[in-house]
Chain A
Amino acid sequence: MINGAEIMVKCLQAEGVEIVFGYPGAVICPFFDKLYDTDIKAVLVRQEQNAAHAASGYARALSKVGVCVATSGPGALNMITGIATAYMDSIPMVAITGQVKSDQLGRDVFQEADITGACESFVKHSYLVKDAADLPRVFKEAFHIASTGRPGPVLIDVPVDVQQDEIEEFVYPEKVNIIGYKPSVSGHPMQIKRALDILSTAKRPVIVAGGGVLTSGAKLKFREFVKKTNMPVISTMMGIGTMPSDDPLYVGMIGSHGRKAANKVIHDSDLIIVCGARVGDRAVSSPDQVAEHTTVIHIDIDPAEIGKNMKTNIPIVGDIKNVMSAMLRDVEYTTPQEWLDSVEKWKKDFALPYKRFDGYVEPKSFLEKLSGMMRSKAILIADVGQNQIWCANSYKMSDGRFFTSGGMGTMGYSVPAAIGAKFARPTRDVVAVCGDGSFQMMFNELATIVQNGLNVKIIVMRNTVLGMVHELQDVHYNSRYAVTELDAFPDFRRIAEAYGIESAFVSDNDEAEAAAQKMLKSDKPFLLVCNVHPGTPSR
């Protein structure tokens, strides 16, 4: 005989899970108790939301399903923000929650919350398991759904009695068969041909790299396509890292917070190839206007994204890697030099300005310098706010990764995601960049870093205000700084000291660079606090 909790653990083993991030509670105890006997590492975070962010960082760094676990009621509810963050960025994740006894469901008992109901709009799929015998099928399906097609979080809610119930034996299904779930991955050959035909007539083409390119593992194919066609590239925030930052064909990030040159290229183009991107409002503010004068080819594995935000002339539903390979085989196109010259000119004309203040670090030039100090394949994780925009536009890399909460814009993402990424890639440099606002949302996770001896580096851009909104108030609210000033300011170095973490406080770029060198050389966690002027603009 085998009980539900042990089945759950065996399912995780069968899926090759090596680590889960979680927080216990009464009704998930049977599961954690069985997990205790295995090689699967259970990492205790300090708040459930961060379990989901850590699983997300882990998933992104390894291209593998991340697993997070919480108890019923408040535990599960705390995790929602992390699940929704993963959903918006298409991160493969399985979230497991304990639930009150099945015969008490719906009676509002202690720590009961309808978590499958509450998460309905933030998950790719969810299960409330009522019978221990269903667990193997449910887990098999959950991992399959989370990791295939357009990836996303799947929630499995397991009542405590189901974890305790016993069945005869554990058999893990070899295959899944979900009638309503068969994602198209190959890309229709006719559509690909049509796309190439229309491309051959283009005079001012541009290709857009979205997060889907990286998710699909199509980075190299994408670069090959760009090289062969000599086409200018712009990326969305989620697509950063697809191209080496210093590639002459790479223009930068698009959007309201992106490079002006990138937006200019989009607006003046006569053909856009959108790859694995949603064309979200922050990327293209008036897609209809753009679509009026240009031809749009949209490649995405999720048909619902094609035509949702931008009119599309040629939709191609499929995995970017497959579609790119097929296009590469037949493409004969070379981008006209005249167009490339204009793009090059805009890149120079619209270079990012720096605004320096005495006694403060200028974050953009510092981040550029930091890029050069990081080792190959480093992972930089930006939080949300001005720090995110500074990183997105100024951090340079050729083969590293850039993670951030792109869709949901969840403050407090960076450090827990860095924890997950470091577990996934222990030998790589993992640096989280956050603001003083976001840091104060999650610095409880310093404990997780210390407890697990993780060599995670944290850079706090300390400008004593909630910078992004502060800047918005400058522009739109007559500089009335309603509720954006972080008064009663804590000494972050002493917080680091309380956790036994080494730290530095720097107030100009030379100091910052020297401290960053020291930070990256150390094999221990490090907190680097950069004094940034509140008037430093995000762009």
Chain B
Amino acid sequence: MKYTLSVLVENHAGVLSKVSGLFSRRGFNIDSLAVGITEDPRFSRITIVADGDEYVIEQLEKQLNKVIPVIKVRTFAKDEFISRELSLIKVNCPAKQRLDIMKISELMGARIVDVSVNTMTLQFADTQERFETLIDLLKPYGIREIVRTGTVAIEKDSVVSRK
């Protein structure tokens, strides 16, 4: 099962390597990792999507907590968070296909960020599931390159406050 963890850390050099080193060393499998500074410049937040059972995730949480610059670790319960990832997708696009791809991107809510004679580049920020759909739609035109960030996640107050 996939779990999403949100890890608040001190914003120092070397913290990311302390955290990421933990995964290989303890044999944890992670799908993605995204890191960025928070509203408070002293801290960064690392969002981790990891694969494993309950035991693995509990161990992961505990081991993360042992890393001194790690301040707080939180594993999101299902449906209690919003997650997004950003992707840039370069598709084959001769002039006659432009309209098709523009329609797909409008339908899916992607933005066209670059157009050349033979290609078009889309920017897409959404869930992993929606990303898969977009890719399915674009595949027939020929995808040249995909670049993706890791997933970032935030708590859904609308759900949590009701509980």
Binding site for B on A (CB under 8 A): 116-117, 120-121, 124-125, 128, 145, 178-181, 302-304, 307-308
Interface residues on B, range: 20 to 34
Alpha-carbon distance A307/B62, docked complex (angstroms): 10
Q: Are A302 and B14 in contact (CB under 8 A)?
A: no
Alpha-carbon distance A479/B18, docked complex (angstroms): 44
Q: Are A307 and B68 in contact (CB under 8 A)?
A: no
- 9 shortest interchain CB distances as A-B pairs: A304-B62, A180-B71, A125-B68, A121-B25, A180-B70, A181-B68, A120-B21, A179-B71, A303-B62
Within B40-70, the residues touching A (CB, 8 Å) are: 55, 58-59, 62-63, 65-70
Query: Would you call B9 an interface residue if the criterion is a C-beta within 8 Å of the partner chain's C-beta atoms?
Result: yes
Q: Are B17 and A117 in contact (CB under 8 A)?
A: yes
Q: Are A120 and B17 in contact (CB under 8 A)?
A: yes
B64's nearest neighbour on chain A, judged by CB, is: A304
Q: Are B63 and A304 in contact (CB under 8 A)?
A: yes
Q: Give chain A nearest CB distance to B57 CB in angstroms.
A: 12
Q: Are B66 and A304 in contact (CB under 8 A)?
A: yes
Alpha-carbon distance A302/B63, docked complex (angstroms): 10
Known: A179-B10, A179-B71, A180-B71. A120 touches B65 (CB 8 A): no
A-B contact pairs, 13 of them (CB 8 A): A117-B17, A120-B17, A120-B18, A145-B68, A178-B68, A180-B70, A180-B71, A303-B65, A304-B65, A304-B66, A307-B58, A307-B59, A308-B62
Kindly list chain A residues whose C-beta atoms are within 8 Å of the C-beta of B70: 180
Kindly list chain A residues whose C-beta atoms are within 8 Å of the C-beta of B17: 117, 120
Q: Give chain B nearest CB distance to A130 CB in angstroms.
A: 9
Kindly list chain B residues whose C-beta atoms are within 8 Å of the C-beta of A303: 62, 65
Q: Give chain A nearest CB distance to B63 CB in angstroms.
A: 6
Contact with A along B14-47 (1 / 0, CB 8 A): 1001100100010000000000000000000000
Kindly list chain B residues whose C-beta atoms are within 8 Å of the C-beta of A124: 68
Q: Give chain B nearest CB distance to A177 CB in angstroms.
A: 12
Q: Give chain B nearest CB distance to A1 CB in angstroms.
A: 27
Q: Give chain B nearest CB distance to A194 CB in angstroms.
A: 19
Alpha-carbon distance A69/B10, docked complex (angstroms): 28
Q: Beyond the given A117-B17, A180-B71, A302-B66, could you list 20 further A-B residue pairs with CB under 8 A, ordered by the A residue number?
A: A116-B14, A120-B21, A121-B21, A121-B25, A124-B68, A128-B14, A179-B10, A180-B68, A180-B69, A180-B72, A181-B68, A303-B62, A303-B65, A304-B59, A304-B63, A304-B65, A304-B66, A307-B58, A308-B59, A308-B62
Alpha-carbon distance A124/B68, docked complex (angstroms): 8
Kindly list chain A residues whose C-beta atoms are within 8 Å of the C-beta of B65: 303-304
Name the residue among A180, A302, A308 with the largest chain B CB count within 10 angstroms: A180
B62's nearest neighbour on chain A, judged by CB, is: A304
Kindly list chain A residues whose C-beta atoms are within 8 Å of the C-beta of B72: 180
Alpha-carbon distance A383/B115, docked complex (angstroms): 70
Kindly list chain B residues whose C-beta atoms are within 8 Å of the C-beta of A121: 21, 25
Kindly list chain B residues whose C-beta atoms are within 8 Å of the C-beta of A116: 14
Q: Are A180 and B59 in contact (CB under 8 A)?
A: no
Alpha-carbon distance A186/B92, docked complex (angstroms): 63
B26's nearest neighbour on chain A, judged by CB, is: A121
Q: Are B18 and A180 in contact (CB under 8 A)?
A: no
Alpha-carbon distance A302/B67, docked complex (angstroms): 12
Name the residue among B59, B62, B68, B69 with the largest chain A CB count within 10 angstroms: B68
Kindly list chain B residues whose C-beta atoms are within 8 Å of the C-beta of A145: 68
Within B66-121, the residues touching A (CB, 8 Å) are: 66-72
Kindly list chain B residues whose C-beta atoms are within 8 Å of the C-beta of A125: 68
Q: Give chain A nearest CB distance to B96 CB in angstroms.
A: 52
B8's nearest neighbour on chain A, judged by CB, is: A180
Q: Give chain A nearest CB distance to B153 CB in angstroms.
A: 20
Alpha-carbon distance A178/B42, docked complex (angstroms): 13
Known: A121-B25, A308-B59. A180 touches B14 (CB 8 A): no
Q: Give chain B nearest CB distance to A53 CB in angstroms.
A: 24
Kindly list chain A residues whose C-beta atoms are within 8 Å of the C-beta of B62: 303-304, 308
Alpha-carbon distance A308/B72, docked complex (angstroms): 20
Q: Give chain B nearest CB distance to A291 CB in angstroms.
A: 13
Q: Are A180 and B10 in contact (CB under 8 A)?
A: yes
Alpha-carbon distance A302/B66, docked complex (angstroms): 8
Kindly list chain B residues whose C-beta atoms are within 8 Å of the C-beta of A308: 59, 62
Kindly list chain B residues whose C-beta atoms are within 8 Å of the C-beta of A180: 9-10, 67-72
Kindly list chain A residues whose C-beta atoms are within 8 Å of the C-beta of B68: 124-125, 145, 178, 180-181
Kindly list chain A residues whose C-beta atoms are within 8 Å of the C-beta of B10: 179-180
Kindly list chain A residues whose C-beta atoms are within 8 Å of the C-beta of B69: 180
B70's nearest neighbour on chain A, judged by CB, is: A180
A180's nearest neighbour on chain B, judged by CB, is: B71
Q: Give chain B nearest CB distance to A137 CB in angstroms.
A: 13
Kindly list chain A residues whose C-beta atoms are within 8 Å of the C-beta of B21: 120-121
Alpha-carbon distance A100/B66, docked complex (angstroms): 30
Kindly list chain B residues whose C-beta atoms are within 8 Å of the C-beta of A179: 10, 71
Q: Give chain B nearest CB distance to A297 CB in angstroms.
A: 18
Kindly list chain A residues whose C-beta atoms are within 8 Å of the C-beta of B58: 307
Kindly list chain B residues whose C-beta atoms are within 8 Å of the C-beta of A181: 68
Alpha-carbon distance A181/B18, docked complex (angstroms): 15
A311's nearest neighbour on chain B, judged by CB, is: B55
Alpha-carbon distance A38/B106, docked complex (angstroms): 75
B24's nearest neighbour on chain A, judged by CB, is: A121
A152's nearest neighbour on chain B, judged by CB, is: B66
Q: Give chain B nearest CB distance to A299 CB in angstroms.
A: 16
Alpha-carbon distance A125/B9, docked complex (angstroms): 14
Alpha-carbon distance A117/B10, docked complex (angstroms): 18
Q: Give chain A nearest CB distance to B46 CB in angstroms.
A: 13
Alpha-carbon distance A216/B38, docked complex (angstroms): 38
B69's nearest neighbour on chain A, judged by CB, is: A180
B71's nearest neighbour on chain A, judged by CB, is: A180
Alpha-carbon distance A180/B7, docked complex (angstroms): 11
Alpha-carbon distance A121/B70, docked complex (angstroms): 16
